[in-house]
Amino acid sequence: MSRSEPLSALINLQMGFLRSACLYVVAKLEVADQLSDGEHTSDEIARRVKVDPEYLYRVMRLLASDGVFTEKTNRVFALTPMSELLRIGAKGTFQPFVVFNSEAAFEAVLGLLAGVIEGHVPFEKRFGKHVFAWMQESPERVALMERAWQGIHWPETDAVLRSYDFSRIGRLADVGGGHGDVLIGYLAGAAGRSGVIFDAPEVAAQVSKRITELGLSGRCDVVGGDFFKAVPVKADAYFLRHILHDWNDEECITILRNIATAARPGNRVLIAECLVKGPNVPDTGKLFDIEMMLFLTGRERTVDEYRKLLEAAGFQYSGVTATNSIVSVVEGFLPG
């Protein structure tokens, strides 16, 4: 291998932050929506969104080289499957995630070196508060965050419901269930199913309205509370999606032990997370792990690390189910 190949790879890796910044620019300006009716020149788009045409062209040109757009002759651009996901009107649009994550992470990432040296959370050092407290300061941030995570979650929901065998479960508890998408999909799978969503009181109040509107109140309870104190709900299985990765091992064990206290022998706990793969393997899980390092005390984990958490909380590990998404379902059960 010549010296130019590893050097070129390093240049692209080091300059990758510029790609992220350009992606943020087009997401914030809603550029993809300007192409929803067909091809346009970057000058036309610039006039619509009221920005400098030359600067916008250069941003779009770079992103087209990565497949975000297609650049044709005379600075004409068109959508690709990637930019389709950046349209606000697209199902599960990824646009809010790009905007929210960029605006929160770009400042926090400057503290990553100090965080690695000192072992602290860079976001908390930069903003002086927990990221969840920071979000709650602004209703606009909360709304953007909720839409952002929908862009991550919606492909997972169908994938989990299709891949994991829920036929053995009569009543499912979604712990930290948010909008209730998984439980709603689970209930739709069979008329005899029932469930409960357990989340923070303010979230529970919102999702309760949705459950009522969907006519599911007879089969779905909604309970507010704090899973660090107790999980006072009964079910055949307890489902947690993107919950444990927010917290350190001790905090995760507390949550799982509270579930174990509520559960009966034979009940299952289902952990849907982005699992970290082995050494030297390109891996979305390793990327999200650095995201966790920036914002929270948590981390993305390997299957073995989740097995150890389950066992520390009194559960027995029983397997993992891959899905056609970035998450897998790690399963444990409470021994008799």
Compute the distance between CA of residue 107 and CA of residue 111 in angstroms, rounded to an integer. 8
CA angle 121, 126, 132 (to 5 degrees): 65
Q: Which spans in the chain are helix H?
A: 4-14, 16-28, 42-49, 53-65, 81-84, 95-108, 112-118, 122-127, 131-136, 139-163, 181-188, 201-213, 249-262, 284-295, 303-312
Compute the distance between CA of residue 315 and CA of residue 308 in angstroms, rounded to an integer. 9
Query: Active site includes 40?
Result: no
The radius of gyration of the chain's CA atoms, rounded to the nearest angstrom, is 22
Catalytic: which of 40, 153, 179, 245? 245
Across-strand partners of 199? 224
CA angle 227, 232, 234 (to 5 degrees): 120
Active-site residues, by number, are: 245
